[in-house]
Amino acid sequence: MTNNEPRLFADDPRATVVVGVPRRASDFYHSLLRASWLRTLLLLASAFLLVNVVFAFAYAEAGGVANARRGSLLDAFFFSVQTLSTVGYGELRPATPTANWLVVAELICGVVMLGGATGLVIAKFTRPTSRILFSKFAAIAPLDGTPTLTFRVANARRNLIVSADVHVLLIRTEHTREGQLLYRMHDLPLVRSRVPIMTRTYLVQHAITPGSLLDGATPESLKRDEVQLAVTITGMDGTTSQTIYAGTDYLDHEIRFGVRFADMMSELPDGRLRIDYSRFDELLPAP
């Protein structure tokens, strides 16, 4: 896994080139759920305008809209908008059987479009999201006399994440006895993988004891084996009671040796705790 290769949790889906997967129409709806609000709204607005332009041409050709200028595409477009949105100001109206049949067809199209757009917007609003932060680097340094892999996570919202489960996979290249090269996944046991309530920051720890997959690891060995750490967190949002998840990964050059994370919490004179998120990714030399 070189530094230029795509990550497991890439922020930009275009970073990974996928070929040979059959396309399905149902994936379009899933893509809209994952798309940004701006992109979704622009797509819905474009579809609305496109449908109205198509019916405007049909109305202009049929010439059956009362009080519309003959052959006026603009009047036909405005009549189409009024029909599709069921506004119906009354000045423009269908005056021939052909125009009435076009109205029926447009209303059917409008019902489908309105239902789909409404469902999409509601689904995007109710889609569970998380604001879990991950440190930019993972660190390996002695902790209580034991070499320990650590990285930071935090809940950026001012609410609770209940029963948060942390799972860490170590992915590396290995050769089988037959000489086949494989990317294999191994579970890394954590000092504590389940956090009953996550309100502030939490330091995830893996003790590098004899038998650990990272026992004796060096920056050179991590690069040689193309080591990658994949991290996932699942839990329940204390506000919405919905299951949320988040994930990140650490490539070999993002695992630093001989450093520890700087302290973020301090006590104020009145006894309250102060958490400085500006030091969330700060690393200090380990003793």
218: CB partners within 8 A, 6+ apart: 257
CA separation for the pair 175, 204 (Å, rounded): 30
Backbone angles phi, psi at 20, to 5 degrees: 85, 0
92 residue type, one letter: L
To the nearest whole number, what is the mean pLDDT of the chain? 85
CA separation for the pair 272, 10 (Å, rounded): 38
Cβ–Cβ under 8 Å, residues 191 and 209: no
Task: Provide the whole-model pTM.
Answer: 0.70
How many percent of the chain have pLDDT more than 70?
91
pLDDT at 33 over 90: no
Backbone angles phi, psi at 82, to 5 degrees: -65, -35
CATH 3.40.1360.10 is right for the domain spanning 26-126: no
CA separation for the pair 265, 200 (Å, rounded): 10
132-285 in CATH: which number? 2.60.40.1400
- Quick check: helix, strand or coil at residue 241? coil
Could you state, in order of their start, the residue ranges of all structural domains in the chain? 26-126, 132-285
Query: 222-244 burial by CB neighbour count: b if 16+ within 10 A, else e?
Result: bbebbbbbbbbbbbbbbeeeeeb
pLDDT tens sequence across 107-130: 899 888 888 888 888 888 888 788
- Quick check: helix, strand or coil at residue 17? coil
Residue 178, burial from CB neighbour count under 10 angstroms (0-12, 13-18, 19+): exposed
pLDDT at 182 over 90: no
35: CB partners within 8 A, 6+ apart: 43
pLDDT at 199 over 70: yes
pLDDT at 13 over 70: no
Please give the average per-residue pLDDT across 214-223, as a whole number.
92
Under the banding of pLDDT at 50, 70 and 90, the label for residue 1 is: very low
Cα 154 to its chain centre, rounded Å, is 17
Confidence (pLDDT) at 23: 62
CA separation for the pair 37, 275 (Å, rounded): 32
CA separation for the pair 137, 282 (Å, rounded): 9
